């Protein structure tokens, strides 16, 4: 069962991300955080993982290490470690996209399976969102991103290969299927 800690994390996530929208949309960013938390819970994650899912972008997008310290103070070291493991940039402005993604891929083998579930849930939701938007927008969807369709898909392919090997199961299979569908979109 989820406790008041989860409620508190939801409030903090809403507070931190209140002004953000999903890239290229009018959708409030909190919807992504809620979806990632739901995916984590649906795939066996515990409350700390669900809290980390709500906060997985907080340090990256809303203050770097000071925000991570706040998360650790309020929710503990386990949650902070998962958030840290899911963070691909600590500074603003962020390093170039390719540099961040290559560093993230290199970092993934060193993180716990607890963190990998949150990471996979995040990437699965992102891939789903791209696929759904492609169905309504067509190839214009790729203009939202800082890099080409090919580079984006190369990154997702590397993630797919990694998750298939290290975290096999229903969520990894679903992510694989979503990436397959994205690759077939023209």
pLDDT tens, 56-74?
Answer: 999 998 988 999 999 999 9
- Structural domain that includes position 137: 4-184
The pLDDT of residue 143 is above 90: no
- Domain with residue 20: its CATH number is 1.10.3210.10
- Nearest-CA neighbor of 20 among 29, 12, 11? 29
Is the Cβ–Cβ distance between 55 and 47 less than 8 Å?
no
Indicate the number of domains in the chain.
1
The predicted-structure confidence for 95-129, as pLDDT tens digits, reads as follows: 999 999 999 999 999 999 999 999 999 999 999 99
């Amino acid at each position: 069962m989820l406790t008041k800690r989860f409620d508190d994390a939801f409030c903090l996530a809403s507070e931190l991300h209140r002004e953000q929208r999903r890239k290229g949309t009018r959708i409030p960013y909190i919807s992504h955080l809620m979806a990632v938390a739901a995916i984590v819970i649906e795939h066996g994650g515990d409350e700390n993982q669900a809290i980390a899912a709500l906060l997985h972008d907080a340090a990256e997008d809303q203050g770097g290490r000071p925000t991570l310290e706040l998360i650790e103070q309020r929710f503990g070291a386990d949650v902070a470690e998962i958030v840290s493991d899911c963070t691909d940039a600590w500074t603003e402005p962020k390093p170039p996209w390719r540099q961040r993604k290559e560093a993230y891929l290199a970092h993934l083998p060193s993180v716990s399976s607890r963190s990998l579930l949150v990471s996979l849930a995040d990437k699965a939701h992102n891939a789903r969102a791209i696929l759904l938007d492609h169905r309504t927008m067509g190839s214009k969807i790729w203009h939202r991103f800082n890099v080409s369709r090919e580079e984006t898909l190369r990154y997702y392919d590397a993630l797919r290969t990694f998750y298939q090997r290290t975290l096999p199961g229903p969520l990894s299979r679903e992510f694989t299927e979503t990436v397959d569908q994205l690759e077939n979109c023209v």
